[in-house]
Amino acid sequence: MSDKAQAHELADAIFLLGRTLRGALVHHDTDVLPSALVAILLMLARMGECRPSELAVELCVSQSSLSRQIAELVERGLVDRHPDPDDRRAHRVSCSESGLEILDLVRKRRTERLSAELADWDETEIASAITTLERLTASLAPLVVDPRRSNS
């Protein structure tokens, strides 16, 4: 995108979409689990068993902050912690069966709310939105992996 005015408009639109999504979908799940913990479960389910440091990188959070959240998820029985077979000083984490069940409940609730709000969208509009969001995510993903790229 070469036009800075369009880039500015897109950045604002993305920010507003994020706020809207949090308000419309995410905050309604806090009776089940705080949204930060849902995000951890979602990413952990997507990544599979991993070291907390790997999860912290994917979530763009500090290891100390994530460590406290993982401890809470372990205490709730939603995450399992295992010794790392490659390094006995480290450990690996994964979603427990209860964690996957909670994640499934949250996903179903979000899907129901989204389906109701997009009832007037046809399949083509939904498919186009999915394609655009996937492309946008792929284009912005390098900034998450290497934040220094955002300065170039």
Nearest to 34 by CA among 45, 22, 44: 22
Task: Give the amino acid at 142.
Answer: P
User: Which pLDDT value is given to residue 152?
Assistant: 45
User: Which pLDDT value is given to residue 143?
Assistant: 79
d(CA 7, CA 72): 39
Residue 134, burial from CB neighbour count under 10 angstroms (0-12, 13-18, 19+): exposed
User: Which pLDDT value is given to residue 1?
Assistant: 52
Q: How many residues does the chain have?
A: 152
pLDDT in tens, 104-123: 999 998 888 889 889 999 99
Mean pLDDT of the chain: 87
Conformation bin of residue 34: beta by default, left when phi > 0, alpha when psi is -120 to 50: beta
Residues 33 and 39 sit within 8 Å (Cβ to Cβ): no
Q: For the residues of 55-97, what is the DSSP string, one character each?
A: HHHHHT--HHHHHHHHHHHHHTTSEEEEEETTEEEEEEEEE-H
* Percentage of the chain lying above the pLDDT 90 cut: 49
pLDDT in tens, 45-100: 999 999 999 999 888 888 888 999 999 999 999 999 999 888 888 899 999 999 99
Per-residue buried b or exposed e for 73-82, using 16+ beta carbons within 10 Å of the residue's own CB: beeeebbbee
Q: Is pLDDT above 50 for 37?
A: yes
